[in-house]
Amino acid sequence: MHTPALLPSMLIGAVASARSMTPMAALAGAHLTGRETPGRLWLLGRPLFTAGALAMGAGELYGDKMKSAPDRTVFLGLLARVMSAGIAGAALAPRGRERAGAAIAVGTAVPLAYLTLAGRKRAMRRIGQTRSGLIEDAVVVAAGLATVALALRRR
């Protein structure tokens, strides 16, 4: 089956809409296993950034369950999504199409952040913050890992 060239960039943008650091953590994990991305992998080629991306990914999963966690649509939350989606979208795009991959990822992440937030708030009312967060974590982390695996398998 042929995967459209920029589909992984769009999917990683959807992942970033719910968890801003998961795209970077998924790419860092792939980098540690010696896998190469189709597009250029900015920053994560350096060990300090790889370790930082993994730590921030884990920290975000923990911090999201806190009562004081801000909504993902506040300025800094959206900025983190733009940066993470842009870097990851570029890395998952075919070589030479990194800018298009970044644009598609960002264009997916920002509007979907509002939709995923609405869904999370609805789930929080029904099953609570921690349980809804754990379920969202499982779905988003699985989607992030699957997206990266899909893009790396294409090479």
Would you state the pLDDT for residue 18? 96
Give me the mean pLDDT over the 72-89 stretch. 95
The total number of structural domains that make up the chain: 1
Residue 123 has pLDDT above 60, yes or no: yes
Cβ-proximal residues to 82 (8 Å cutoff; 6+ apart), any chain: 106, 109, 110
Domain that holds residue 50: 7-154
Q: What is the pLDDT of residues 59-80, one digit of tens each?
A: 898 887 777 888 899 999 999 9
pLDDT band at 46 (very low <50, low <70, confident <90, very high): confident
State the virtual CA torsion across 75, 93, 2, 147 in degrees, nearest 10. Answer: -50
In a domain, 84, yes or no: yes
In a domain, 18, yes or no: yes
In a domain, 22, yes or no: yes
Q: How many other CB atoms sit within 10 Å of the CB of residue 124?
A: 15
Where residue 34 falls (left for φ over 0; alpha for ψ -120 to 50; beta otherwise) is: left
In a domain, 123, yes or no: yes
In a domain, 113, yes or no: yes
In a domain, 1, yes or no: no
